[in-house]
């Protein structure tokens, strides 16, 4: 793992930057909430402000592993498999980095708690458009990118969403 790492997410640019030692080490295209930024429960908005990674889920899972309730379902995503599923299913694939807000009353506690809202960085189908809004509040990433990021961060890594 890199020392003194942090993640910065720019909602306007739909990009995630991984910083180590004060220097940008990687950029990744993302997709944040189609409803825009916001902190309220049930808003399907992406929460802003200071967060930390509170959970790392999926270590060693196969590429395109499908998760439901943070548990692998035993399914592997493919376009053919997706065609057999109900339309509009929100695919959470490959890895999950579960976020917890750090600012009481803004993104922590009550009806604005990022952790209780199940806000994640997670993989998404390869055909999902990134670089534009589209999620239900989480930060979607390419599967290869979430694996690379997952392998470099740990619980407690700071995440700033602007």
pLDDT tens-place string over residues 51-64:
999 999 999 999 99
What are 99-147's pLDDT values in tens digits? Answer: 999 999 999 999 999 999 999 999 999 999 999 999 999 999 999 999 9
In the predicted model, what is the mean pLDDT of residues 27-44?
97
Q: Which residue segments constitute the domains of the chain, with CATH numbers given?
A: 5-161 (2.40.440.10)
In the predicted model, what is the mean pLDDT of residues 67-89?
95
**What global pTM score does this model have?**
0.96
Q: What is the mean pLDDT of the chain?
A: 96
Q: Are 150 and 95 in contact (CB under 8 A)?
A: yes
Q: Are 127 and 79 in contact (CB under 8 A)?
A: yes
In the predicted model, what is the mean pLDDT of residues 79-96?
94
List the end-to-end C-alpha distance of the chain, in Å, as a whole number: 25
């Amino acid at each position: 793992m890199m020392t003194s790492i942090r993640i910065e997410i720019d909602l306007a640019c739909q990009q995630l930057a991984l910083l180590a030692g004060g220097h940008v080490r990687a950029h990744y295209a993302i997709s944040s909430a189609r409803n825009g930024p916001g902190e309220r429960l049930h808003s399907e908005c992406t929460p802003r402000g200071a967060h930390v990674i509170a959970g790392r889920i999926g270590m060693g899972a196969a590429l395109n592993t499908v998760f439901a309730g943070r548990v692998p379902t035993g399914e592997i995503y493919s376009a053919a498999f997706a065609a057999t599923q109900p339309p509009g299913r929100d695919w959470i694939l490959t890895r999950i980095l579960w976020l917890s807000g750090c600012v009481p009353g803004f993104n922590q506690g009550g009806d604005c708690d990022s952790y209780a809202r199940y806000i994640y960085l997670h993989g998404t189908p390869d055909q999902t458009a990134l670089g534009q809004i589209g999620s239900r509040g989480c930060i979607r990433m390419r599967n290869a990118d979430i694996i690379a990021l997952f392998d470099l961060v740990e619980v407690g890594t700071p995440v700033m969403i602007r």
